[in-house]
Structure 1
Amino acid sequence: MAVWIQAQQLQGDALHQMQSLYGQHFPIEVRHYLAQWIEGQLWDSVELENPQDELKAKRLLDSLVQELQRKAEHQVGEDGFLLKIKLGHYASQLKSTYDRCPLELVRCIKHILHSEQRLVQEAVGSGGGGGTMDSLSQRHQQINQTFEELRVSTQETENELRKLQHNQEYFIIQYQENLRIQAQLSSLSAVPAEERTQRETSLQAKRATVEAWLTREANTLQKYRLDLAEKHQKTLGQLRKQQTLILDEELIQWKRRQQLAGNGGPTEGGLDVLQSWCEKLADLIWQNRQQIRRAEHLTQQLPLPGPMEELLTKLNSDITDIISALVTSTFIIEKQPPQVLKTQTKFAATVRLLVGGKLNVHMNPPQVKAVIVSEQQAKALLKNESTRNDSSGEILNNNCVMEYHRTTGTLSAHFRNMSLKRIKRSDRRGAESVTEEKFTVMFESQFSVGGNELVFHVKTLSLPVVVIVHGSQDNNATATVLWDNAFAEPGRVPFIVPDKVLWPQLCEALDMKYKAEMHSARGLCDDNLIFLAQKAFSSASINPEDYRNMTMSWAQFNRESLPGRNFTFWQWFDGVMELMKKHLKPHWNDGAILGFVNKQQAQDMLMSKPNGTFLLRFSDSEIGGITIAWVAENPNKRLVWNLMPYTTKDFSIRSLADRISDLNHLMFLYPDRPKDEVFSKYYTPPLSKAVDGYVKPQIKQVVPEYVYCHPSSGNPTYMDQAPSPSVAHPINFAIFPPIDPMMDADGEFDLEDTMDVARHVEELLRRPMANQWDALTCSIPIYLRELL
């Protein structure tokens, strides 16, 4: 009910927009009296395009009707009697309206709730909650004010046109009277002379009076026509200016927000507001066009000397250009196809005509076709050059009929099951890879307005898409898409983007993407960005302030490998996001993962902390890896130790929280938080008792109590973890008391620990080592070596 309470506090245009959501299809009284019930239902759980969810929708409809009937029954008193009748009527009305199409009811209510929430958010965001500011920005208020001025001027020209028509009709009557007088004068030759003279004098006087009036009235009519044409010119100028503001600024901004949403920016909103503006434009343009055509008809009925015919021809041409620009520009892609498009994989898209409900386009629903074209073909299309109707691939299920949804007033086509069967690539240039090649899905249609009076062929291009044939290409394709979405400029030639950008611009794009992947407001802080800059530019000696003026090229971003590595900067960063998204998102959002810290920084941070303090940082050497660094005491000095990095594969076996729980020597999360306080809510509950006589084994993580350095290599042999590089000499020491991990307190073998050591043996055998067997046997307890 909270949304409804806030919606009732809207003012001005926002309140008007909210009220316009309701009507006979869903009365506002139903929303008011069932506000709490309506907001408590799971409307979003119903998929409108899934016929199987019709049963869910039917249950919601029946429940709504029952709630209305129950509400009606509880009304008492004189006022309650009238409300009881009204609510009962609404219950019957909704039942009869939606009984055969319950999904339409869900569509209607979802549209209403989402629109109300948007209006409330806009009002709060602009300070409209206090009534001092409207829910729209000052600029939007100016647009609405201009619409009011256009409405008034259009009504004025309508009144002037009616007055002109009335005067012209009277003029024609008087002109016919003059012709009748002339006919009478011509017939006087058969009348006797005495009578003829008297009648002729009278008729000539009458004719002179009529002709004088006709002359004056002809001049007046011509002035009326010229004044009307001048007013139409002024109105058309205002319409063109308003349309430019809406299409070339507001709609372009919406498209830009839609593009940034592909990088994780805020989900684009305001399309319903844009549609309302475009529909108002369509109404006003069409009314003025009809007025101009009526003025042309009047001119043809009564030709008068002067430039009127040329003026009306010019006005008609101008108004046709304006409506053509409106219709072709408002054919948009509401839901973009995926920008990384894999062949042989189903994908969806939605196109929408923002003026479809006003020009009666839906009376003859147009068909939309989707084709995929290359960057070169897209350039030719924008230049109106012929592309010989070639496409760069074959899309299955690429035809769809636009449907009109009366409850929302939208005309759209939903492509639900498209699939790219094949792709035809162009010759690549230089170092360009297939994942840098851009295509676009073009949607085209043809429809008429005004009863086939005007026919339009419309096209619209999707955001750039990168076509892949295997999941391994997804990483590099995503880099191309991210760079294009972040740095494309409005009105560009397809699909030109700068080759170099300032580092802060790239930081903004990376932060946006990272927050979207984490579904969190916690993005990349300044320290994180400094770490990334040092990694991207392979330099830790540059002053952090200097990074603000440095530029990064596309090649540095995702074409050239980082020094000493076999992966690019983006591949490393994307690997981090993939790991976090799949397994570590809650821990990042809790602030438990520092992540963007190098090995030396970790050592400096931990050495001043008590033994057992640890932190989590991303691996420098492995894509999608995270390691635990902790400080511990050895017989000679304190050291910082680093476990071998965990990857997605490791966390699919055992979670990070459980692994940290297993390691008793990890006690405090940096700087000083007890680990159980941070991670206990993510621990896996203890195993249940035996079922059907079977005991389920449990995997546990351990760190070997001894680290042995092979004499021949002088380097430590790693088990699950690696000691810090600061350990340079062969040493043999115990980090913890030398208790045999295979024995319990009573000296008996522990089954779980035995299985754990066996698992470590198996993992060790899979790792590349100079002498696996020596490393293995020197790290296994004596009794297990004998068994082997």
Structure 2
Amino acid sequence: MAMWIQAQQLQGDALHQMQALYGQHFPIEVRHYLAQWIESQLWDSVELDNPAEEAKAKHLLDSLMAELQRKAQHQVGEDGFLLKIKLGHYATQLKGTYDRCPLELVRCIKHILHSEQRLVQEATNASCGSAGQALDSLSQRHQQINQAFEELRLATQESENELRKLQHSQEYFIIQYQENHRIQAQINSLATLPLAERTPRETTLQSKRATVEAWLTREASTLQKYRLDLSEQHQKTVNLLRKQQTLILDEELIQWKRRQQLAGNGGPAEGGLDVLQSWCEKLADMIWQNRQQIRRCEHLTQQLPLPGPMEELLSKLNSEITDIISALVTSTFIIEKQPPQVLKTQTKFAATVRLLVGGKLNVHMNPPQVKAVIVSEQQAKALLKNESTRNDSSGEILNNNCVMEYHQATGTLSAHFRNMSLKRIKRSDRRGAESVTEEKFTVLFESQFSVGGNELVFHVKTLSLPVVVIVHGSQDNNATATVLWDNAFAEPGRVPFMVPDKVLWPQLCEALDMKYKAEMHSGRGLAEDNLVFLAQKAFPSNNNNSNPEDYSSVTISWSQFNRESLPGRNFTFWQWFDGVVELMKKHLKPHWNDGAIMGFVNKQQAQDMLLSKPNGTFLLRFSDSEIGGITIAWVAENPNKTGERLVWNLLPYTTKDFSIRSLADRISDLNHLLFLYPDRPKDEVFAKYYTPPLSKAVDGYVKPQIKQVVPEFTTPNPEPVYMEQAASPTISNTTTFNIFPPMSDPMLDADGDFDLDDTMDVARHVEELLRRPMVNQWSSPQS
């Protein structure tokens, strides 16, 4: 309701734009009387490209009908009677329009709400500016573009007026020219008359002809000047059009594509295309009007040839403006929804292409078909050089043809590929150390259509962002690294798909932080000390540096990022980082967002931090030696030496462990863990995530509970057992094992950390856990 109240306060052009959103497809009265209901619905939760969402859209349509009927029934009085009839009519009309395609209703309302929001925001920014507040750079650019459109509109209108004057002048000139021929014919006809009769009449006609010829001579010069002036005016307009088009296509559209690319790394959404489409449509309209004017000038010149350079000038103008509209059409054939950049064979995927000027040029009158093919990096290079790649592709995509559809409610012309699947892929010969997950492909979308009654024919094509093709999920990690590096560091206008081999460490930090924030769905990204930890991991020789500035000028190469293993490990920097991201995303996201996980801390740092705290203080840090592992470090007395305090590190947990028992429950099990570093009681942090006690036994069976203990720190649990009395034997909820001497566990490496290659058999471990409560983690003291 709040948005509609603000929308009703719009003025001038903004109000006209808002009113233009409505029509028979969705009456403005429906928006007005159901404003609160419309704004309270979750329209954005419906995926328009997913046919499975049709049921959800149908429910929204039915609810809208019910709301309209309810609103109609509550109308009373004479005015209420008329409104009741009108609302009932709208309900019938909307049901008839959208009953078979309810997703189109959702598309229509989403477009209306987003457009209203944009108009209100622009009006708010403008009012702030009028109050003396500076407009931000985005608003200034938009204002500059809108002012240029107004200048173009005035110039186009002026040249139209001058063209009409020229046409009228030329038509009158032709009439006078014909009059001159008629006079000459009359003079010639006098030759048969007697001299006495012929002379006075001939004298009169000769005088009249001389007057007409003098006028024709003067008017011919005037017409030539009119034509030259008009061509100069058109040249200025063409230059303005080119400048405006450069601003929109080479800056605004390129920036939108860049945002779309960064969104693939978790950056903010690229934003809607409505504003860009409105600009491109205005451009198309202006270009087409001026092109028609130039063609009319050419016709006038052909109709009345006069000495001078006009034909050459007009031919040049026609060629220039045709090039401009050609560039506009080919550049605005874009991919609105990119195919997945890590593309697995035999897996369904989707994409959407859109022509931003399709509605304005009436392309939908003969809907074009779009074809999708997958091509290699080399083939993409050849395409951009306009070298022939006919019938060349690097694989076979099923369901790769789609007809562009025009959506009247939103004015968009697009093709939705909903069920594509890559059946097979043909790889090229790899270079050096390059693996299959470093090989880049792209999906090429092609179409052909004509405008202006086949006056101009366009063959359009556009390339997707680079995709890495995999055949197994185990390749996803390395493929994602290739995509992240490409998205983060690709330059606009590059040769496909060149990226720098080295980048500054702060640049990579920005990309990693963007990825981490996106996966955590929160604003808590990587702090400076986290980035220092990562730098120390990436550059082991600089481990003594603890200042972010120490790494500001350091470069990291692609090989260091995801080709060379970390020292003493069998995995790369990216594989370790991605393992952390996956673990957090799947199991620990709430704890990270709560600030409960410190994570990026090495063993020595954890020891220094904990030894200054009371016994029972603990923290959570990521394992250095295992991909996707997290361990608990805590400070406690050494059970083998009275008076000595040690920092202990629990065997790292992985996603397999958390699929059995959650982190919060594991921390709850360990009674020797008291305070989360620095001094927060653990229940204050984790209690809201504890699993509730087990329910009463069913059919005489008591469900056993898995519970974790650390033998060296087992203490009697003061809490009652989480089960009720039943006709089954009592089962202890703790089990103790012999204490191993420090560092004697063969599963620990020389640093007392976990060694991936020596893990116990997980299946056997889980089987034992399910059979009886037992210890499922081991501890080791800090060495």
Select the residue among 537, 540, 557 that pairs with 2:543.
540
Give the match for residue 679 of structure 1.
686
1:399 aligns with 2:379: no
Select the residue among 577, 580, 585 that pairs with 1:581.
585
Distance in 2, Cα, partners of 1:15 & 1:575: 52
Change (3 A) 1:53 1:371: closer
Preserved contact between residue 264 and residue 517 of structure 1 (Cα < 8 Å)? yes
Change (3 A) 1:86 1:167: farther
Preserved contact between residue 238 and residue 321 of structure 2 (Cα < 8 Å)? yes
Distance in 2, Cα, partners of 1:89 & 1:195: 84
Shift in Å at residue 65 of structure 1? Answer: 3.8
Report the secondary structure of 1:448's partner residue. strand
Change (3 A) 1:149 1:83: farther
Distance in 2, Cα, partners of 1:767 & 1:242: 61
Distance in 1, Cα, partners of 2:99 & 2:469: 44
Distance in 2, Cα, partners of 1:756 & 1:210: 123
Give the match for residue 753 of structure 1.
733
Distance in 1, Cα, partners of 2:173 & 2:72: 63
Q: Which amino acid aligns with 1:751?
A: I
Report the secondary structure of 1:107's partner residue. helix
Distance in 2, Cα, partners of 1:157 & 1:27: 38
For 1:495-574, list aligned pairs within 5 A. Answer: 495-538=497-540, 539-544=542-547, 545-574=549-578
Preserved contact between residue 618 and residue 625 of structure 1 (Cα < 8 Å)? yes
Change (3 A) 1:383 1:298: same
- Give RMSD over aligned pairs: 3.1
Q: Which amino acid aligns with 2:675?
A: F
Preserved contact between residue 234 and residue 290 of structure 2 (Cα < 8 Å)? yes
Change (3 A) 1:738 1:2: closer
Give the match for residue 434 of structure 1.
436
Distance in 1, Cα, partners of 2:228 & 2:79: 58
Give the match for residue 318 of structure 1.
320
Shift in Å at residue 165 of structure 1? Answer: 1.1
Q: Which amino acid aligns with 1:27?
A: P
Give the match for residue 654 of structure 2.
647
Shift in Å at residue 674 of structure 1? Answer: 1.2
Shift in Å at residue 672 of structure 1? Answer: 1.2
1:214 aligns with 2:221: no
Q: Which amino acid aligns with 1:414?
A: H
Shift in Å at residue 369 of structure 1? Answer: 1.0
Report the secondary structure of 1:394's partner residue. strand
For 1:186-225, list aligned pairs within 5 A. Answer: 186-225=188-227
Change (3 A) 1:473 1:53: closer
Give the match for residue 763 of structure 2.
none
Select the residue among 478, 489, 492 that pairs with 1:490.
492
Report the secondary structure of 1:311's partner residue. helix
Give the match for residue 346 of structure 1.
348
Distance in 2, Cα, partners of 1:105 & 1:272: 18
Change (3 A) 1:52 1:418: closer
Preserved contact between residue 579 and residue 628 of structure 2 (Cα < 8 Å)? yes
Give the match for residue 365 of structure 2.
363
Give the match for residue 606 of structure 1.
610
1:693 aligns with 2:700: yes
Give the match for residue 22 of structure 2.
22
Distance in 1, Cα, partners of 2:223 & 2:291: 21
Change (3 A) 1:284 1:74: same
Change (3 A) 1:166 1:527: same
1:284 aligns with 2:298: no
Give the match for residue 158 of structure 1.
160
Give the match for residue 751 of structure 2.
none
For 1:96-135, list aligned pairs within 5 A. Answer: 96-118=96-118, 128=128
Report the secondary structure of 2:184's partner residue. helix
CA distances 1:577-625 after superposition (whole Å, capped 9, x unpaired): 0000000001101111000011111111111112211111100010000
Change (3 A) 1:338 1:288: same
Change (3 A) 1:158 1:55: same
Report the secondary structure of 1:692's partner residue. coil
Report the secondary structure of 1:549's partner residue. coil
Preserved contact between residue 47 and residue 53 of structure 2 (Cα < 8 Å)? yes
Select the residue among 478, 481, 494 that pairs with 1:479.
481
Preserved contact between residue 187 and residue 205 of structure 2 (Cα < 8 Å)? yes
Distance in 2, Cα, partners of 1:45 & 1:546: 45
CA distances 1:169-225 after superposition (whole Å, capped 9, x unpaired): 111111111111111111122334333223222222221222122111111111111
Preserved contact between residue 331 and residue 351 of structure 1 (Cα < 8 Å)? yes
Select the residue among 658, 662, 671 that pairs with 1:664.
671
Q: Which amino acid aligns with 2:586?
A: K
Q: Which amino acid aligns with 2:225?
A: K
Q: After the TM superposition, which of the residue ranges 402-411 and 103-112 deviates more from structure 2?
A: 103-112
Change (3 A) 1:127 1:645: farther
Shift in Å at residue 636 of structure 1? Answer: 3.1
Preserved contact between residue 697 and residue 703 of structure 2 (Cα < 8 Å)? yes
CA distances 1:619-651 after superposition (whole Å, capped 9, x unpaired): 001000000111112333111111100000000
Report the secondary structure of 1:751's partner residue. coil
Report the secondary structure of 2:26's partner residue. coil
Shift in Å at residue 2 of structure 1? Answer: 3.4
Shift in Å at residue 16 of structure 1? Answer: 5.5
Shift in Å at residue 116 of structure 1? Answer: 3.4
Unaligned segments of structure 2, at least 5 residues: 748-755, 761-773, 775-783
Shift in Å at residue 692 of structure 1? Answer: 2.8
CA distances 1:416-475 after superposition (whole Å, capped 9, x unpaired): 111111111111111111111111111111111111111111111111111111111111
Q: After the TM superposition, which of the residue ranges 549-558 and 113-122 deviates more from structure 2?
A: 113-122
Q: Which amino acid aligns with 1:568?
A: T
What TM-score comes out, normalization by structure 1 length? Answer: 0.88
Change (3 A) 1:37 1:547: same
CA distances 1:662-719 after superposition (whole Å, capped 9, x unpaired): 11111111111111111111111221212233222211111113xxxxxxxxxxxxxx
Change (3 A) 1:768 1:104: closer
Distance in 1, Cα, partners of 2:466 & 2:382: 15
Preserved contact between residue 13 and residue 134 of structure 1 (Cα < 8 Å)? no
Aligned residue pairs, count: 737
Distance in 2, Cα, partners of 1:767 & 1:217: 97
Shift in Å at residue 128 of structure 1? Answer: 4.9
Preserved contact between residue 634 and residue 647 of structure 2 (Cα < 8 Å)? yes
Q: Which amino acid aligns with 1:395?
A: I
Unaligned segments of structure 1, at least 5 residues: 706-733, 771-783
Report the secondary structure of 1:665's partner residue. coil
Report the secondary structure of 1:594's partner residue. coil
Report the secondary structure of 1:251's partner residue. helix
For 1:257-268, list aligned pairs within 5 A. Answer: 257-268=259-270
Shift in Å at residue 352 of structure 1? Answer: 0.7
Give the match for residue 633 of structure 2.
629
Q: Which amino acid aligns with 1:580?
A: M
CA distances 1:714-749 after superposition (whole Å, capped 9, x unpaired): xxxxxxxxxxxxxxxxxxxx774799x99x9x9x98
For 1:171-190, list aligned pairs within 5 A. Answer: 171-190=173-192
1:36 aligns with 2:16: no
Q: Which amino acid aligns with 1:601?
A: Q
Report the secondary structure of 1:137's partner residue. helix
Distance in 2, Cα, partners of 1:738 & 1:360: 77
Change (3 A) 1:121 1:629: farther
Preserved contact between residue 377 and residue 387 of structure 1 (Cα < 8 Å)? yes
Preserved contact between residue 699 and residue 752 of structure 1 (Cα < 8 Å)? no
Report the secondary structure of 1:371's partner residue. strand
Give the match for residue 769 of structure 2.
none
Give the match for residue 770 of structure 2.
none
Q: Which amino acid aligns with 1:222?
A: Q
Preserved contact between residue 337 and residue 348 of structure 1 (Cα < 8 Å)? yes
Q: Which amino acid aligns with 1:106?
A: V
Q: After the TM superposition, which of the residue ranges 7-16 and 42-51 deviates more from structure 2?
A: 7-16
